[in-house]
Amino acid sequence: MATMYYEKDCNPGVLKDKTVAVVGYGSQGHAHALNLHDSGVKVIVGLYEGSKSAQKAKDAGLTVMNTADAVKQADIVMILVNDEKQPALYEKDIAPYLRAGMTLAFAHGFNIHYGQIVPPADVNVIMVAPKGPGHTVRSQYLEGKGVPDLVAVEQDATGNALEIALAYAQGIGGARAGVLQTTFREETETDLFGEQAVLCGGVSALMKAGFETLVEAGYQPENAYFECVHEMKLIIDLVVQGGLSMMRYSISDTAEYGDYTVGNRIITEETKKEMKKVLTEIQNGTFARNWLLENKANRPYFNATRRMEANHPVEKVGAELREKMSWKPGK
Ligand SMILES: NC(=O)C1=CN([C@@H]2O[C@H](COP(=O)(O)OP(=O)(O)OC[C@H]3O[C@@H](n4cnc5c(N)ncnc54)[C@H](OP(=O)(O)O)[C@@H]3O)[C@@H](O)[C@H]2O)C=CC1
Ligand SMILES: CC[C@](O)(C(C)=O)C(=O)O
Ligand SMILES: [Mg+2]
Ligand SMILES: [Mg+2]
Protein backbone atom coordinates (compact mmCIF):
# COMPACT_ATOMS: atom_id res chain seq x y z
CA MET A 1 0.00 0.00 0.00
CA ALA A 2 1.30 3.44 -0.90
CA THR A 3 2.22 5.87 1.88
CA MET A 4 -0.48 8.55 1.75
CA TYR A 5 -0.76 11.82 3.65
CA TYR A 6 -3.75 14.06 4.25
CA GLU A 7 -4.24 17.47 5.90
CA LYS A 8 -4.06 15.97 9.41
CA ASP A 9 -0.53 14.71 8.58
CA CYS A 10 0.79 18.12 7.48
CA ASN A 11 2.34 20.83 9.63
CA PRO A 12 1.83 24.23 8.00
CA GLY A 13 3.95 25.70 10.81
CA VAL A 14 7.17 24.69 9.00
CA LEU A 15 6.41 27.36 6.38
CA LYS A 16 5.84 30.09 9.00
CA ASP A 17 8.44 32.86 8.62
CA LYS A 18 9.67 31.22 5.40
CA THR A 19 9.61 32.83 1.96
CA VAL A 20 8.72 30.72 -1.06
CA ALA A 21 10.03 31.89 -4.44
CA VAL A 22 7.82 30.48 -7.19
CA VAL A 23 9.92 30.74 -10.36
CA GLY A 24 7.65 30.89 -13.41
CA TYR A 25 4.01 31.99 -13.49
CA GLY A 26 2.47 29.75 -16.14
CA SER A 27 0.05 26.85 -15.70
CA GLN A 28 1.56 25.50 -12.44
CA GLY A 29 3.32 28.70 -11.35
CA HIS A 30 0.19 30.85 -11.06
CA ALA A 31 -1.65 28.08 -9.22
CA HIS A 32 1.13 27.40 -6.69
CA ALA A 33 1.81 31.10 -6.08
CA LEU A 34 -1.85 32.05 -5.61
CA ASN A 35 -2.83 28.98 -3.58
CA LEU A 36 0.17 29.36 -1.23
CA HIS A 37 -0.55 33.09 -0.90
CA ASP A 38 -4.21 32.37 -0.08
CA SER A 39 -3.04 29.74 2.45
CA GLY A 40 -1.08 32.44 4.28
CA VAL A 41 2.42 31.62 2.98
CA LYS A 42 4.79 34.44 2.03
CA VAL A 43 5.30 34.13 -1.73
CA ILE A 44 7.43 35.99 -4.25
CA VAL A 45 7.36 35.28 -7.97
CA GLY A 46 10.62 34.99 -9.93
CA LEU A 47 10.51 35.87 -13.65
CA TYR A 48 12.77 37.39 -16.29
CA GLU A 49 12.89 40.89 -17.75
CA GLY A 50 10.15 41.17 -20.41
CA SER A 51 8.21 38.07 -19.27
CA LYS A 52 4.61 37.97 -20.54
CA SER A 53 3.55 36.49 -17.21
CA ALA A 54 4.89 39.29 -15.00
CA GLN A 55 1.92 41.64 -15.41
CA LYS A 56 -0.54 38.84 -14.61
CA ALA A 57 1.28 38.08 -11.36
CA LYS A 58 1.41 41.77 -10.43
CA ASP A 59 -2.29 42.19 -11.27
CA ALA A 60 -3.01 39.30 -8.89
CA GLY A 61 -1.33 41.28 -6.13
CA LEU A 62 1.88 39.23 -5.95
CA THR A 63 5.42 40.54 -5.54
CA VAL A 64 7.41 39.94 -8.71
CA MET A 65 11.18 40.22 -9.17
CA ASN A 66 13.87 38.74 -11.37
CA THR A 67 14.71 35.14 -10.54
CA ALA A 68 18.15 35.80 -9.03
CA ASP A 69 16.74 38.39 -6.60
CA ALA A 70 13.85 36.08 -5.72
CA VAL A 71 16.28 33.24 -4.92
CA LYS A 72 18.39 35.55 -2.76
CA GLN A 73 15.33 36.36 -0.61
CA ALA A 74 13.85 32.88 -0.51
CA ASP A 75 14.09 29.88 1.80
CA ILE A 76 12.27 27.60 -0.64
CA VAL A 77 12.63 27.88 -4.43
CA MET A 78 9.99 26.07 -6.49
CA ILE A 79 11.08 25.84 -10.15
CA LEU A 80 7.98 26.07 -12.35
CA VAL A 81 9.61 26.98 -15.64
CA ASN A 82 9.30 24.74 -18.72
CA ASP A 83 11.34 21.56 -18.12
CA GLU A 84 13.63 22.13 -21.10
CA LYS A 85 14.47 25.69 -19.95
CA GLN A 86 15.25 24.77 -16.35
CA PRO A 87 18.93 23.69 -16.64
CA ALA A 88 20.13 26.99 -18.17
CA LEU A 89 18.01 29.05 -15.77
CA TYR A 90 19.32 27.01 -12.82
CA GLU A 91 22.98 27.56 -13.79
CA LYS A 92 22.55 31.29 -14.38
CA ASP A 93 20.00 32.55 -11.85
CA ILE A 94 19.53 29.91 -9.17
CA ALA A 95 22.70 27.92 -8.37
CA PRO A 96 24.92 30.97 -7.66
CA TYR A 97 22.50 32.20 -4.97
CA LEU A 98 21.66 28.95 -3.16
CA ARG A 99 22.57 28.93 0.52
CA ALA A 100 23.10 25.89 2.76
CA GLY A 101 19.81 24.69 4.27
CA MET A 102 17.61 26.11 1.50
CA THR A 103 15.04 23.94 -0.27
CA LEU A 104 14.96 23.47 -4.02
CA ALA A 105 11.59 22.18 -5.20
CA PHE A 106 10.22 20.78 -8.46
CA ALA A 107 6.76 19.83 -9.73
CA HIS A 108 8.19 17.20 -12.07
CA GLY A 109 11.35 15.13 -11.66
CA PHE A 110 12.65 15.33 -15.25
CA ASN A 111 15.79 17.44 -14.70
CA ILE A 112 16.90 15.78 -11.48
CA HIS A 113 16.18 12.24 -12.68
CA TYR A 114 17.89 12.68 -16.05
CA GLY A 115 20.85 14.52 -14.48
CA GLN A 116 20.28 17.90 -16.18
CA ILE A 117 20.37 19.72 -12.81
CA VAL A 118 22.78 18.63 -10.07
CA PRO A 119 22.17 20.65 -6.86
CA PRO A 120 24.80 21.01 -4.14
CA ALA A 121 24.63 18.50 -1.25
CA ASP A 122 23.79 21.12 1.41
CA VAL A 123 20.29 21.98 0.09
CA ASN A 124 17.07 20.00 0.34
CA VAL A 125 15.76 18.72 -2.99
CA ILE A 126 12.07 17.95 -2.94
CA MET A 127 9.20 17.46 -5.33
CA VAL A 128 5.55 18.41 -4.99
CA ALA A 129 3.92 17.28 -8.21
CA PRO A 130 0.20 17.90 -8.70
CA LYS A 131 -1.50 15.13 -10.66
CA GLY A 132 -3.47 17.58 -12.75
CA PRO A 133 -3.21 20.72 -14.90
CA GLY A 134 -2.22 23.95 -13.15
CA HIS A 135 -5.45 25.73 -13.98
CA THR A 136 -7.35 22.92 -12.26
CA VAL A 137 -4.98 23.11 -9.26
CA ARG A 138 -6.17 26.71 -8.90
CA SER A 139 -9.88 26.22 -9.68
CA GLN A 140 -10.21 23.23 -7.34
CA TYR A 141 -8.45 25.11 -4.53
CA LEU A 142 -10.92 27.97 -4.92
CA GLU A 143 -13.81 25.47 -4.70
CA GLY A 144 -12.42 24.09 -1.43
CA LYS A 145 -11.20 20.95 -3.18
CA GLY A 146 -7.72 19.88 -4.30
CA VAL A 147 -5.74 18.00 -6.93
CA PRO A 148 -3.77 15.02 -5.50
CA ASP A 149 0.00 15.51 -5.26
CA LEU A 150 3.03 13.27 -5.36
CA VAL A 151 5.87 14.21 -2.99
CA ALA A 152 9.47 13.00 -3.04
CA VAL A 153 12.69 13.83 -1.28
CA GLU A 154 15.93 13.48 -3.26
CA GLN A 155 18.18 15.23 -0.69
CA ASP A 156 17.39 15.88 2.96
CA ALA A 157 19.99 18.42 4.09
CA THR A 158 17.97 19.83 7.01
CA GLY A 159 16.39 16.62 8.28
CA ASN A 160 12.83 17.88 7.68
CA ALA A 161 12.61 17.96 3.88
CA LEU A 162 9.54 15.69 3.83
CA GLU A 163 7.77 17.90 6.38
CA ILE A 164 8.45 20.91 4.12
CA ALA A 165 7.14 19.05 1.07
CA LEU A 166 3.96 18.06 2.92
CA ALA A 167 3.35 21.59 4.22
CA TYR A 168 3.81 22.90 0.66
CA ALA A 169 1.38 20.26 -0.66
CA GLN A 170 -1.14 21.37 1.93
CA GLY A 171 -0.59 25.01 0.97
CA ILE A 172 -1.53 24.36 -2.65
CA GLY A 173 -4.56 22.25 -1.68
CA GLY A 174 -3.17 18.81 -2.56
CA ALA A 175 -3.51 17.35 0.95
CA ARG A 176 -7.28 17.82 0.71
CA ALA A 177 -7.27 15.08 -1.95
CA GLY A 178 -4.29 12.95 -0.89
CA VAL A 179 -0.51 13.17 -1.11
CA LEU A 180 1.37 10.07 -2.22
CA GLN A 181 5.02 9.60 -1.29
CA THR A 182 7.23 8.51 -4.17
CA THR A 183 10.70 8.99 -5.66
CA PHE A 184 11.91 11.34 -8.39
CA ARG A 185 12.42 8.31 -10.63
CA GLU A 186 8.92 6.91 -10.14
CA GLU A 187 7.22 10.29 -10.61
CA THR A 188 9.22 11.12 -13.74
CA GLU A 189 8.69 7.79 -15.46
CA THR A 190 5.01 7.37 -14.57
CA ASP A 191 4.16 11.01 -15.36
CA LEU A 192 5.80 10.83 -18.80
CA PHE A 193 4.17 7.48 -19.49
CA GLY A 194 0.72 8.68 -18.40
CA GLU A 195 0.78 11.86 -20.47
CA GLN A 196 2.13 10.13 -23.59
CA ALA A 197 0.27 6.82 -23.65
CA VAL A 198 -2.97 7.53 -21.80
CA LEU A 199 -3.97 11.07 -20.77
CA CYS A 200 -2.78 13.24 -23.66
CA GLY A 201 -1.33 11.14 -26.51
CA GLY A 202 -3.64 8.16 -26.01
CA VAL A 203 -6.87 10.10 -25.42
CA SER A 204 -6.26 12.62 -28.24
CA ALA A 205 -5.51 9.83 -30.71
CA LEU A 206 -8.60 7.86 -29.57
CA MET A 207 -10.93 10.86 -29.90
CA LYS A 208 -9.52 11.89 -33.29
CA ALA A 209 -9.71 8.34 -34.66
CA GLY A 210 -13.35 8.04 -33.54
CA PHE A 211 -14.23 11.47 -34.97
CA GLU A 212 -12.51 10.74 -38.30
CA THR A 213 -14.16 7.30 -38.59
CA LEU A 214 -17.64 8.80 -38.24
CA VAL A 215 -16.99 11.80 -40.51
CA GLU A 216 -15.36 9.66 -43.23
CA ALA A 217 -18.46 7.42 -43.11
CA GLY A 218 -20.63 10.46 -43.95
CA TYR A 219 -21.98 11.40 -40.51
CA GLN A 220 -22.22 15.08 -39.48
CA PRO A 221 -18.98 16.39 -37.94
CA GLU A 222 -20.98 18.13 -35.18
CA ASN A 223 -22.55 14.80 -34.21
CA ALA A 224 -19.11 13.13 -34.29
CA TYR A 225 -17.71 15.88 -32.01
CA PHE A 226 -20.51 15.49 -29.44
CA GLU A 227 -20.10 11.69 -29.51
CA CYS A 228 -16.33 11.31 -29.43
CA VAL A 229 -15.10 14.47 -27.67
CA HIS A 230 -17.69 16.38 -25.64
CA GLU A 231 -19.17 13.27 -24.05
CA MET A 232 -15.69 12.00 -23.08
CA LYS A 233 -15.59 14.34 -20.07
CA LEU A 234 -19.10 13.41 -18.99
CA ILE A 235 -18.22 9.72 -19.01
CA ILE A 236 -14.82 10.28 -17.31
CA ASP A 237 -16.45 12.43 -14.59
CA LEU A 238 -18.50 9.37 -13.60
CA VAL A 239 -15.36 7.19 -13.54
CA VAL A 240 -13.57 9.71 -11.29
CA GLN A 241 -16.64 9.95 -9.07
CA GLY A 242 -17.31 6.24 -8.57
CA GLY A 243 -15.00 4.12 -10.68
CA LEU A 244 -15.75 2.18 -13.85
CA SER A 245 -18.67 0.60 -11.95
CA MET A 246 -20.44 3.93 -11.49
CA MET A 247 -19.96 4.78 -15.17
CA ARG A 248 -21.34 1.38 -16.13
CA TYR A 249 -24.25 1.82 -13.70
CA SER A 250 -25.19 5.09 -15.36
CA ILE A 251 -24.85 4.06 -19.01
CA SER A 252 -27.39 1.80 -20.70
CA ASP A 253 -26.97 -1.98 -20.63
CA THR A 254 -26.63 -1.74 -24.41
CA ALA A 255 -23.61 0.54 -23.97
CA GLU A 256 -22.20 -1.70 -21.22
CA TYR A 257 -22.46 -4.78 -23.48
CA GLY A 258 -20.68 -2.81 -26.25
CA ASP A 259 -18.02 -1.74 -23.74
CA TYR A 260 -17.27 -5.39 -22.81
CA THR A 261 -17.32 -6.74 -26.35
CA VAL A 262 -15.57 -3.97 -28.29
CA GLY A 263 -13.11 -2.25 -25.91
CA ASN A 264 -10.52 -5.02 -26.27
CA ARG A 265 -10.78 -4.81 -30.07
CA ILE A 266 -9.71 -1.16 -29.94
CA ILE A 267 -7.05 -1.29 -27.22
CA THR A 268 -5.48 -4.61 -28.18
CA GLU A 269 -2.51 -6.71 -27.03
CA GLU A 270 -0.61 -4.86 -29.81
CA THR A 271 -1.48 -1.54 -28.14
CA LYS A 272 -0.21 -2.83 -24.80
CA LYS A 273 2.99 -4.07 -26.48
CA GLU A 274 3.52 -0.55 -27.87
CA MET A 275 2.81 0.94 -24.41
CA LYS A 276 5.59 -1.24 -23.02
CA LYS A 277 7.95 0.07 -25.72
CA VAL A 278 7.00 3.64 -24.86
CA LEU A 279 7.73 2.93 -21.18
CA THR A 280 11.12 1.42 -22.04
CA GLU A 281 12.05 4.52 -24.06
CA ILE A 282 11.19 6.66 -21.03
CA GLN A 283 13.12 4.39 -18.64
CA ASN A 284 16.27 4.19 -20.78
CA GLY A 285 16.38 7.94 -21.46
CA THR A 286 15.54 7.77 -25.20
CA PHE A 287 12.52 10.05 -24.85
CA ALA A 288 14.41 12.57 -22.68
CA ARG A 289 17.31 12.69 -25.16
CA ASN A 290 14.94 13.18 -28.12
CA TRP A 291 13.02 15.97 -26.34
CA LEU A 292 16.21 17.80 -25.34
CA LEU A 293 17.60 17.48 -28.90
CA GLU A 294 14.29 18.69 -30.37
CA ASN A 295 14.63 21.84 -28.25
CA LYS A 296 18.29 22.32 -29.20
CA ALA A 297 17.15 22.29 -32.85
CA ASN A 298 14.43 24.91 -32.11
CA ARG A 299 11.55 22.43 -32.09
CA PRO A 300 11.03 21.75 -35.85
CA TYR A 301 8.80 18.68 -35.33
CA PHE A 302 6.99 20.11 -32.30
CA ASN A 303 6.10 23.41 -33.98
CA ALA A 304 5.00 21.87 -37.29
CA THR A 305 2.84 19.28 -35.53
CA ARG A 306 1.32 21.88 -33.20
CA ARG A 307 0.23 23.90 -36.29
CA MET A 308 -1.22 20.85 -38.05
CA GLU A 309 -3.09 19.65 -34.97
CA ALA A 310 -4.62 23.10 -34.39
CA ASN A 311 -6.12 22.88 -37.90
CA HIS A 312 -7.65 19.42 -37.51
CA PRO A 313 -11.41 19.49 -38.31
CA VAL A 314 -12.22 18.27 -34.79
CA GLU A 315 -10.76 21.53 -33.47
CA LYS A 316 -12.72 23.72 -35.89
CA VAL A 317 -16.10 22.09 -35.31
CA GLY A 318 -15.47 21.91 -31.56
CA ALA A 319 -14.70 25.62 -31.32
CA GLU A 320 -17.89 26.50 -33.24
CA LEU A 321 -20.07 24.33 -31.02
CA ARG A 322 -18.52 25.51 -27.74
CA GLU A 323 -18.96 29.12 -28.81
CA LYS A 324 -22.73 28.64 -29.04
CA MET A 325 -23.18 26.90 -25.69
CA SER A 326 -24.87 29.07 -23.07
CA TRP A 327 -22.15 28.25 -20.53
CA LYS A 328 -18.41 27.71 -20.86
CA PRO A 329 -17.78 23.93 -20.96
CA GLY A 330 -15.71 22.84 -18.00
CA LYS A 331 -17.03 25.61 -15.77
N1 LIG B 1 1.30 22.23 -16.91
C2 LIG B 1 0.95 21.45 -15.88
O3 LIG B 1 -0.22 21.41 -15.48
C4 LIG B 1 1.95 20.62 -15.15
C5 LIG B 1 3.29 20.96 -15.18
N6 LIG B 1 4.17 20.33 -14.34
C7 LIG B 1 5.55 20.78 -14.32
O8 LIG B 1 5.57 22.14 -13.87
C9 LIG B 1 6.68 22.82 -14.46
C10 LIG B 1 6.17 24.09 -15.17
O11 LIG B 1 5.39 23.70 -16.27
P12 LIG B 1 4.17 24.61 -16.79
O13 LIG B 1 3.45 25.22 -15.65
O14 LIG B 1 3.43 23.77 -17.77
O15 LIG B 1 4.96 25.76 -17.58
P16 LIG B 1 4.34 26.95 -18.45
O17 LIG B 1 4.89 26.83 -19.83
O18 LIG B 1 2.85 27.01 -18.30
O19 LIG B 1 4.93 28.26 -17.74
C20 LIG B 1 6.30 28.52 -17.72
C21 LIG B 1 6.54 29.81 -16.97
O22 LIG B 1 7.95 30.01 -16.85
C23 LIG B 1 8.25 31.34 -17.26
N24 LIG B 1 9.61 31.35 -17.77
C25 LIG B 1 10.07 30.91 -18.97
N26 LIG B 1 11.41 31.09 -19.05
C27 LIG B 1 11.79 31.66 -17.88
C28 LIG B 1 13.03 32.11 -17.36
N29 LIG B 1 14.16 32.00 -18.05
N30 LIG B 1 13.05 32.66 -16.13
C31 LIG B 1 11.92 32.78 -15.39
N32 LIG B 1 10.70 32.36 -15.84
C33 LIG B 1 10.65 31.82 -17.06
C34 LIG B 1 7.21 31.66 -18.32
O35 LIG B 1 7.09 33.06 -18.49
P36 LIG B 1 6.61 33.69 -19.90
O37 LIG B 1 5.33 32.97 -20.27
O38 LIG B 1 6.42 35.11 -19.61
O39 LIG B 1 7.73 33.38 -20.87
C40 LIG B 1 5.98 31.06 -17.66
O41 LIG B 1 5.46 31.93 -16.69
C42 LIG B 1 7.36 21.80 -15.37
O43 LIG B 1 8.35 21.17 -14.61
C44 LIG B 1 6.24 20.81 -15.67
O45 LIG B 1 6.67 19.52 -16.03
C46 LIG B 1 3.77 19.36 -13.46
C47 LIG B 1 2.48 18.98 -13.38
C48 LIG B 1 1.47 19.50 -14.30
C1 LIG C 1 -0.92 15.14 -18.15
C2 LIG C 1 0.11 16.21 -18.45
C3 LIG C 1 0.93 16.66 -17.25
O4 LIG C 1 1.74 15.60 -16.80
C5 LIG C 1 -0.05 17.04 -16.15
C6 LIG C 1 -1.03 18.13 -16.36
O7 LIG C 1 -0.09 16.36 -15.15
C8 LIG C 1 1.84 17.81 -17.70
O9 LIG C 1 3.07 17.61 -17.77
O10 LIG C 1 1.32 18.91 -18.01
MG1 LIG D 1 1.34 14.94 -14.88
MG1 LIG E 1 3.89 15.92 -17.00
Q: Are residues 12 and 153 in the same domain?
A: yes
Question: pLDDT at position 331, please?
Answer: 65
Point out the catalytic residue in the list 30, 108, 230, 312. 108
- Cα dihedral 104, 110, 113, 115 in deg (nearest 10): -80
Contacts of 68 (CB under 8 A, 6+ apart): 46, 92, 93, 94, 96, 97
171 and 246 in a single domain? The answer is: no
Phi, psi of 201 (to 5 degrees): -60, -50
Say if residue 130 is in the same domain as residue 163. yes
**Is residue 153 one of the residues assigned to a domain?**
yes
Same domain, 178 and 198: no
The pLDDT score that the predictor gives to residue 156 is: 98
pTM of the model as a whole: 0.98
Instruction: Give domain status of residue 329, yes or no.
Output: no
- Prediction ipTM score: 0.99
pLDDT per position as a tens digit, 10-64: 999 999 999 999 999 999 999 999 999 999 999 999 999 999 999 999 999 999 9
Q: What is the pLDDT of residue 33?
A: 99
Tens of pLDDT, residues 157-203 = 999 999 999 999 999 999 999 999 999 999 999 999 999 999 999 99
- Picking from 182, 211, 228, the residue at the C-terminal end of a domain is 182
Looking at the domain assignment, is residue 132 inside a domain? yes
CA dihedral 131, 135, 139, 145 (to 10 degrees): 10
C-beta separation of 224 from 210 below 8 A: yes
264 domain-assigned = yes
330 within some domain? no
* Same-domain status, 137 and 239: no
CA-to-CA distance for 166 and 180, rounded, in angstroms? 10
Residues flanking ion ligand 4, Cβ below 5 Å? 191, 195
Model pLDDT, residue 328: 82
Tell me the C-alpha distance between 209 and 305, whole Å: 17
Give the pLDDT score at 261.
Answer: 98
Measured in Å, residue 24 CA sits from the centre of ligand 1 at 5
Query: Does residue 108 carry a catalytic annotation?
Result: yes
- Domain-located, residue 188: no
Judgement on whether residues 160 and 280 belong to the same structural domain of the protein:
no
Number of domains the chain contains = 2
Q: What is the pLDDT of residues 209-261, one digit of tens each?
A: 999 999 999 999 999 999 999 999 999 999 999 999 999 999 999 999 999 99
Q: Is residue 187 part of a domain?
A: no
* 51 appears as a binding residue in the annotation: yes
Q: In what order do the strands lie in the sheet with 4-5?
A: 4-5, 179-181, 149-155, 124-130, 103-106, 76-79, 19-23, 42-47, 63-66
Q: Are residues 148 and 232 in the same domain?
A: no
Q: What is the pLDDT of residues 63-94, one digit of tens each?
A: 999 999 999 999 999 999 999 999 999 999 99
Mean of all residue pLDDT scores within the chain: 98
Answer yes or no: do 150 and 243 share one domain: no
Domain that holds residue 313: 194-324
Distance 133 CA to ligand 4 centre (A): 9
Same domain for 156 and 225, yes or no, is no
Domain end point (choices 182, 206, 231) = 182
What pLDDT was estimated at residue 327? 87
100 CA to middle of ligand 3, Å?
30
Contact between residue 331 and residue 233 where contact means Cβ atoms under 8 Å apart: no
Which residue puts its alpha carbon closest to atom 10 of ligand 2? 133
The reply to whether 110 and 22 lie within a common domain is yes
Residues 174 and 203 in one domain: no
The protein residue with its alpha carbon nearest to ligand 2, atom 3, reads 195
- Residues 44/25, Cβ–Cβ less than 8 Å: no
- Which regions of the chain does DSSP assign to beta strands (E)? 4-5, 19-23, 42-47, 63-66, 76-79, 103-106, 124-130, 149-155, 179-181
Q: Is 263 annotated as a binding residue?
A: no
* SS3 label, residue 23: strand
pLDDT in the model for residue 303: 98
- End-of-domain residue from the set 130, 155, 182: 182
pLDDT tier at 279, thresholds 50, 70, 90? very high
Across 13-51, b (16+ Cβ under 10 Å) vs e yields ebbeebbbbbbbbbbbbbbbbbbbbebebbbbbbbbeeb
In a shared domain, residues 220 and 115: no
Residue 100: which CATH number?
A: 3.40.50.720
